[in-house]
Amino acid sequence: MDDSELLTTSVEAVETAQAWTEWVSPERQRSQARKFLDFVGLDLPDCPWADDAPELRQLDVYCARMFPDMPTATAAANADIADQCICLIGVLFAEFTGARWVPYTWFGRERSFYDEINPLLDYPFTDEGDTAWGMMVDVVAHGFSSVAGLLREYTDRHDFDV
C-alpha cells in the first residue's frame, strides 16, 4: 500500500467514525424518535405497548403508509422519516431491554439505511443482535407491532437475565 492509499484509508476511517459518533448520539436519537412520535400523535410509552394497544394500531397504519415496501422505505426522499423510525426503535429497546446501538459491518447501501454505517442493536442478554436494516424489514413486512412484540419479549428476558 502506497502513501496515498494509506492516507485515503485513514481519512475514510475517520469519516466513518465521525458519522457513527454523530448518528449514535443519545440526544439525536431521542430527538428523532420524538419527531416520529409527534407525526403519529403519540408519546414515548412508560412500558412496552401491549399487543392490543391502540398506539400500535396507529403506528402500524402510519408505517404502512410511509413504508409500503423496502424501495419506498430506502428512498432518499424518506431518509429522515426512516431514520426517525429507526431511532424510535433504538430508544425503546435501550429503555426497556438495555440494548445499545453498536457499529456493524457495512455491506453497502443495499443493506443499510446509511452511508458508511450499519447500526446493530446489541442486547445485554444474548450474543445475537438486530441491524437497523433488519428491524425496518420487519416494520415494512409486518408493521411496527412486530417490532413491539420483540420489544415485549426482550423486555421480559432483560428483566430475568440482568
Spatial strand order in the sheet of 129-131: 100-103, 119-122, 129-131
pTM, to two decimals = 0.89
What is the full DSSP assignment across 32-61? HHHHHHHHHT----SSPPPTT-HHHHHHHH
Q: Tell me how long the chain is.
A: 162
Query: Which amino acid would we find at residue 113?
Result: F
Is the pLDDT assigned to residue 7 strictly greater than 60?
A: no
Give pLDDT, residue 19.
86
Reported as half-sphere exposure (CB side, CA atoms, 13 A), residue 104 has a value of 20
| Whole-number percent of the chain with pLDDT over 70 | 88
pLDDT score at 109: 85
Mean pLDDT along residues 115-137: 95
Residue tagged 453497502 (cell numbers): 108
Mean pLDDT for the chain overall: 90
pLDDT at 9 over 60: no
